[in-house]
Amino acid sequence: MRFSLPDYNEINSVNAYFFPENFFCFIPIDKKKYKEQEDKHIDNNNTCDDSFHELHKRVGNEYYRKVYPAQSSALSFSERTFPSYRFLLPEILADDWLAIVGWHKKHSRDHALHQPLTAYIVYKLLKGGLDGQPFQIGGRSLLDLCVDKIFLWEKTDYIKEYLLQLGVKNNDDLFNDIPISRLFWKSLFFETAMVAAIFHDIGYPWQYINRINKNLNVAEFTLNNSLANAEHILHCFKNRLILYPFNGYKSLKCNTPCNWENSLLKMISESLTETHGFSGSLGFLHLNDHTKEFPSKKELPFHNFCIEWAALGIMMHDLKDIYHGKDKLTLPDNNQMRLEFDRDPLSCIITLADVLQEFARPNVNFHIHEDGSEFTYPNNCLSSELIYENGNLNLIYYYSTNEGMINKQLFIPKEEKEYFDLATGYFDFSSVGISNIEMSAMLGL
């Protein structure tokens, strides 16, 4: 299955709007709380229109004409799924451009276009492109494989447990693999995956702040107290789904070791300062919490579960470094957080799509003149491809230049080791018959 920007544009033009709208519609919003957020946003004098205008001035027509329609679709989708996204987008666009042209992190790239294109990859993997043929492994669609693993209720029992806590009745029809239940779970899974994909990188502004705080530590001055923040987060979110992976995808029980809280606080603190996934999931939950009506006159457990589940996918797509720890050559520090397909198929799909989305992501080139410098935003990756054959999964990236291809090839051994090593990689797809995953880069379209 091939993925590219022209293919995304073609699918978008035919379908006009391919985002789903079942479980996320009509979540009760507290209008007063939303108005308070809106007033603060207006006071900042930084509207979405202003931000798009400023971005256009800095990047020129070519890149802007890619970002604007993609983020306009995301904004429309957010009105039903994440209303506060409108208030975040100006900072996301600003931080994204600063990341591309800044030097805090080498090889920083676009995320404003990357998020919609990651959602497009999820859409195509699970639903198929214009031909309507989703990605298959061993003759079975990827979406059906995801639902298969959920219906086992072995490693995915935490999903059932959480739904029951939200007030869903223990209905045999809902939790048994029968046609109507399968149709329901496929729809629920697909919609949640699309939400997680389109918002999976909203944590970058928070990571930027944490990076500044981390650098200030060198000068023995910081505005950040990571332990205090971790304790506050544990207090506020201790019963939420995003903390389950830290405990091996389980809620804390009465026999939890007495010293586990210290380990948990350490993992939370590191996740907060070292990743954008954890910050993004916290922001997603907090802003939704802040605007939703509570107590609600109408209970919508599956709507609420979609938010919690999407936050899990947002978080887990970027917890590879927390899973491995500082020394990636040894056994993982936090093996309980490994992305196993039969335990967390949603996060596996989001992370796989994120890894595949390399095309149309510009870096910046600086052309220095006597009186200043000129920016250009080239993107060497033209497309990516996912191929399954006889237990092997291949991720192939196609480049327009030797320079782009060689640069990607330099990173592939490290990425393969950290993501796909059979023994210690962050991914484990063995439960669907995948015994080997490889990456490659080559010239081509």
Q: What is the spatial distance between Cα 294 and Cα 184, in angstroms, rounded to a whole number?
A: 26
Is-cis flag, bond preceding 69, omega within 30? Answer: no
Q: Which H helix or E strand runs over 184?
A: helix 179-198
End-to-end, the C-alpha distance of the chain in Å comes to 13
* pTM for the model: 0.91
Domain ranges of the chain: 2-443
- Strands, E assignment, 252-352: 339-340
The one-digit pLDDT tens for each residue of the chain (445 residues) are: 999 999 999 988 876 556 776 666 556 777 888 888 888 777 777 788 888 998 898 888 888 888 888 888 888 888 878 888 888 888 888 877 877 777 766 555 667 789 999 999 999 999 998 888 999 999 999 999 999 999 999 999 999 999 999 989 887 789 999 999 999 999 999 999 999 999 998 887 666 566 555 555 544 444 455 667 888 899 889 899 999 999 999 988 878 888 889 999 999 989 988 898 999 999 899 988 888 877 777 767 888 899 999 999 999 999 999 999 987 778 899 999 999 999 999 999 999 999 999 998 877 777 888 787 777 777 789 999 999 999 999 999 999 999 889 999 999 999 999 999 999 999 999 999 999 999 999 998 7
Q: What is the spatial distance between Cα 361 and Cα 382, in angstroms, rounded to a whole number?
A: 9
Which letter does DSSP use for residue 29 in this model? B
Q: What is the spatial distance between Cα 311 and Cα 51, in angstroms, rounded to a whole number?
A: 26
Angle between helices 114-127 and 5-15 (to 10 degrees): 70
